Structure 1
Amino acid sequence: MEWKTRVTELLGIQYPIIQGGLAYLAYAELATAVSEAGGLGQITAMSLESPDALRAEIRKVQAMTNKPFGVNFAIGQHGRPYAHMVEAALEEGVKVMSVTGGNPAPFFAQLAHTDVKTLVLVAAKRQAQKAEELGADAVMVVGQEGGGHLGRDDIGTMVLVPQVVDAVSIPVIASGGIGDGRGWMAAHALGAEGIEMGTRFIATRECVHASSAYKDALLTSSEMDTTVIKRTLGSPARALTGMWTEKIIGLEAQQANYEALKDFIGGEANRRFIHDGDIDHGFGWAGQVTGLIHDVPTVGELVERMVKEAEVIRSGWNFGK
Structure 2
Amino acid sequence: MKTRVTEILGIKYPIVQGGLAYLAYAELAAAVSNAGGLGQITAATLGSPEKLREEIRKVRTLTDKPFAVNFAIARHDGHYKELLEVAIEEKVPAISITGANPQPVFERIKEENIKTLVLVAGVRQAQKAEKLGADIVIVVGQEGGGHLGREDIGTMVLTPRVVDSVSIPVLASGGIGDGRGLLAALALGAEGIEMGTRFIATQECVHANEKYKQAILHAKETDTVIIKRTLGSPGRVLKSEYTLNIIEREKEGATYEDLQDIISGKANCRYIYDGNETDGFGWVGQVIGLLNDIPTVQALFDEMIFTVEKGLSRIDNIIGERIHR
TM-score by length of 2: 0.97
Aligned equivalents of 1:109, 1:257: Cα separation in 2 = 34
Stretch moving more, 107-116 or 268-277: 107-116
Question: Which residue of 1 is the match for residue 123 of structure 2?
Answer: 125
Q: Letter of the 1:260 partner, please give it.
A: D
Cα offsets for 1:16-54 (capped at 9, x unmatched) = 000000000000000000000000000000111100100
Other structure's SS at 2:262 match: helix
Distance of 2:172 and 2:131 partners within structure 1:
20
Which residue matches 2:285?
Answer: 287
Could you tell me which runs of 5 or more consecutive residues in structure 2 were left unpaired when the two chains were aligned. none
Paired AA for residue 230 in structure 2: T
Contact 1:83 1:110 in 2 (8 A): no
Counterparts of 2:41 and 2:313 in 1: how far apart (Å)? 34
Q: 1:91 aligns with which of 89, 92, 106?
A: 89
2:170 to 172, 180, 205: 172
1:309 to 307, 310, 321: 307
CA distance in structure 1 between the partners assigned to 2:168 and 2:314 by the alignment: 28
Structure 1, unpaired ranges of 5+: none
Letter in 2 for 1:4: K
For 2:287, give the aligned amino acid: V
1:153 aligns with 2:154: no
1-side partners of 2:219 and 2:90: how far apart? 40
8 A contact 1:44–1:73 mirrored in 2: yes
C-alpha deviation, 1:314, in angstroms? 2.1
Superposed, 1:107-256 pairs within 5 Å as 107-256=105-254
> Could you say what secondary structure the match of 1:153 adopts?
coil
Measured on the aligned residues, the alpha-carbon RMSD in Å equals 0.8
Write out per-residue CA displacement over residues 207-263 of structure 1, whole angstroms, 9 at most, x where no aligned residue: 000001100100110000000000011010000001110111011011111100110
Distance 1:7 1:106 in 2: 24
Q: In the TM superposition, what whole-angstrom CA distance separates every residue of 1:168-224 from its partner, at most 9, and x where no partner exists?
A: 000000000000100100000000000000000000000000001100100110000
**Deviations 1:108-138 (Å, cap 9, x if unpaired)?**
1111111100000000111000100111001
Identity of aligned residues (%): 63
Q: Alignment length, in residue pairs? A: 319
- Work out the CA distance in 1 between the residues paired with 2:283 and 2:126: 24
Aligned to 1:320: 320
Is 1:79 paired with 2:77?
yes
Q: Which residue of 9, 31, 42 maps to 1:11?
A: 9
Aligned mate of 2:51, from 50, 53, 69? 53
Q: Which residue identity does 2:170 align to in structure 1?
A: V
**What amino acid does structure 2 have at the position aligned with 1:285?**
W
Identify which range, 72-81 or 42-51, moves more after superposition: 72-81
**1:138-188 alpha-carbon deviations (Å, 9 max, x no partner):** 100000000000000000000000000000000000000000100100000
Helix, strand or coil at the partner of 2:74? coil
Once the 2 structures are TM-superposed, how far is the Cα of residue 316 of structure 1 from its aligned partner? 3.7
Cα–Cα, structure 1 residues 201 and 37, in superposed 2: closer, same or farther, change >3 Å? same
Alpha-carbon distance, 1:80 to partner: 4.3
Contact 1:243 1:281 in 2 (8 A): no
